[in-house]
Structure 1
Amino acid sequence: MRKIHFPFLFLILFVGCSSEENASTTESTYFPPTDGSATWETKSIVNLGWNETAVQPLLDYLELKHSKGFIILVDGKIVMENYFNGHSASTNWYWASAGKTLTSTMVGIGEQEGLLNINNKVSDYIGTGWTSETLAQENLITCKNLLTMTSGIEDITNGDAVDPASLEYVADAGTRWAYHNVYVKLQDVVAQASGETWNTYFNAKLRDKIGMNGTWFASGNNIVYWSTTRSMARFGLLNLNKGKWKNEQILNENYFTQATTTSQNINLGYGYLWWLNGKPSYHLPQSQYQFSGSIIPSAPNDMFMALGKNDQKIYVIPSKKMVVIRMGDAADEVNAALSTFDNDLWVKIKALYE
């Protein structure tokens, strides 16, 4: 059964001398408490001036497409929060590859604390022999190459395996973009550089600071994060605010900007484990083909995204001061992180505010 939560109305009055002044007035970003309380302020569809008639078609579509949790934030406040197909606000669900952005963030935090440098080779932190490449080939691979998916390691034959025998040379680091699970070695880099376990460092430097819940679980060759939908929304809100939570800069803005900007000249739609909309071209996993145009044509061009298997989504749209979260099973029984679901979903989301 679908559970629908319609937020209460909050009437925000802006006083100005003219309509032009009122239009230029902006509301400061709201951050929910981090003390474990369920309090989270809301903002209504009506108060935003959005189209109420577009709400139900969106909800029907989300339920039809096997969604479990869905949240829209504007200015940090909940505009829509909906649960479907037996899910609830307290149920944890996996982020899949959307959690790559958590790793990107932790690498940035480690760098700002002086523990590591993304331009250094991976072997500086985890030792040599972590691949089957020659020492000269392996020494070309920097932490930044792992952040940008330009390690040059074979991405098809050995799938997601990250043992040394499976990490084979295809091209020099920096010369080829290929989506690969080898990025998880960055978690080892952070652990070695910090002298703490990955979980301990992650919880202290990110999770607990912004009030997320959640746990990392081993899943095959990967470590996957599980949390509530609201916790995913908290992370999206942190990134909407350029790495700052209330008055604390969790992740420095310079790194954040690099992470959410084209990171290399091969796949223009990729930053540091973040996907970028609105670029002239992009590549997709398991392909060397260059596609023309924006990744999600129906979505805002300034949007950056965390995309995971079975359609786990974090969409961050700075121009709209908006974060959109979707958790659930694969919308169309397709396992890819990106599918036609994204474009169709954004047609329905835009109907709310256009």
Structure 2
Amino acid sequence: MGNKISDEVYPVNVNRALVQEAVDMLFIEKDPTKLIRTRAVIVVYDGALIAERYGTGYSRSTKFLGWSMTKSIISALVGILVKDNKLNIDTPAPVPEWNNTDDPRHSITIKHLLQQNSGLDFVEDYYSNSDVTQMLFNTGDMAAFAASHALKHKPGTYCYYTSGNTNILSRIIRHTVGEQDYHSFPYRALFHKLGMNNMTMEVDASGFYNNEQILSEEWVKQSATLGGSNLHGEYGYQFWLNTGKENDPSTRRLPDVPTDMFFASGFDGQAVFIIPSKKLVVVRLGLTKTPDEEYGANNFLKTIIDAIS
């Protein structure tokens, strides 16, 4: 985890017992047919580490797979390049396959890719011969494979979550920083500045950390803002949202959690939940097949929020 989070000062207004009870519940296996298999939980409130627990055989030095949580890291790296005036998200994306101005895909922008509304005819279902499984397991150049797909919808008009969009963004980053700097760029530009030696997200202050504006304040705001074509308030710049419909908590992904929450989410229940209004960041890692149903993210976060209120 990032080595700059303090675990020495425990905020006085936190119900410590309730926090620990909520965390411990994620490690109890109540139903052998629906295993939770939580591997790590970290709770950071107002810059202080208030809870940290690992499953048997795991520790803070264990390297976990982030899966699609990495999409949110890609967003941050794009934001850094935008801040440095190396990318413009509102002009046609620099994708060689779409260079021809007569190609309808030429109008796809980086913003469209970030918000998952590129309109590409790419299927994210994980059956044996879907687009995403072909891309992940049978293709040498995943970005080229994704970029080769035709349009199904006009860019910006329809939201559909696909890893193809993110792999195209990753290649854009690679071409922008160059082959020599590509592998070191995330560490130099983001991770090391946050003290993330073993790669866990920390609380964000509008992109400002350790006396440096790593991301622009506007980028952080837009990352957690609903895109125009998104359904039910679900997606920003490669971050999931909890917006829902106004005054209707039942339309939120997590109805008992504030609407300003945004989060990174990955396969098997990996998640980093960021709730600015509560000064709260919660990390949960595991091997849970249907995490929302089995470990109860909504009730877990509600209890943590109750403990700090």
TM range (shorter): 0.7 to 0.9
Instruction: Label 1:266 to 1:113 Cα distance change in 2 as closer, same or farther (>3 A).
Output: same
Deviation at 1:345, TM superposition (A): 2.3
Q: 1:315 aligns with which of 239, 250, 273?
A: 273
Q: 1:279 aligns with which of 218, 240, 244?
A: 244
Q: Which has the higher strand share?
A: 1
Report the equivalent of 2:76. Answer: 105
Q: TM-score, normalised by structure 1?
A: 0.72
> In structure 2, what is the Cα distance between the partners aligned to 1:57 and 1:250?
33
Deviation at 1:245, TM superposition (A): 1.0
> In structure 2, what is the Cα distance between the partners aligned to 1:104 and 1:176?
20
Instruction: Label 1:143 to 1:113 Cα distance change in 2 as closer, same or farther (>3 A).
Output: same
Report the equivalent of 1:158. Answer: 131
Q: TM-score, normalised by structure 2?
A: 0.81
Instruction: Label 1:59 to 1:166 Cα distance change in 2 as closer, same or farther (>3 A).
Output: farther
Aligned with 1:128: secondary structure? helix
Report the equivalent of 2:260. Answer: 302
Indicate the RMSD between aligned Cα atoms, in angstroms.
2.7
Contact 1:187/1:198, CA 8 A, preserved across alignment: no
Report the equivalent of 2:196. Answer: 212
Alignment of 1:118-267 (within 5 A): 118-122=89-93, 125-128=94-97, 135-156=102-123, 157-159=130-132, 161=135, 162=142, 163=145, 167-182=149-164, 183-196=166-179, 197-213=181-197, 228=198, 231-232=199-200, 235-237=201-203, 240-267=204-231
Contact 1:63/1:85, CA 8 A, preserved across alignment: no
Deviation at 1:165, TM superposition (A): 7.9
Give 5+ residue unaligned stretches, structure 2.
30-35, 124-129, 136-141
When Rg is computed on C-alpha atoms for both structures, the one with the higher figure is: 1
Contact 1:66/1:85, CA 8 A, preserved across alignment: no
> In structure 1, what is the Cα distance between the partners aligned to 2:250 and 2:158?
18
2:155 alignment partner AA: A
> In structure 2, what is the Cα distance between the partners aligned to 1:101 and 1:262?
15
Give 5+ residue unaligned stretches, structure 1.
1-30, 34-38, 214-227, 282-290
> After superposition, what is the alpha-carbon deviation per residue over 1:47-82, rounded to whole angstroms, capped at 9, x for unaligned?
224151452353133343211111111121100011
Question: Between the two proteins, what is the percent identity of the paired residues?
Answer: 26
> In structure 1, what is the Cα distance between the partners aligned to 2:250 and 2:42?
30
> In structure 1, what is the Cα distance between the partners aligned to 2:214 and 2:159?
29
The count of aligned residue pairs is: 281
> After superposition, what is the alpha-carbon deviation per residue over 1:199-221, rounded to whole angstroms, capped at 9, x for unaligned?
222121111111213xxxxxxxx
Contact 2:158/2:229, CA 8 A, preserved across alignment: no
Report the equivalent of 2:139. Answer: none
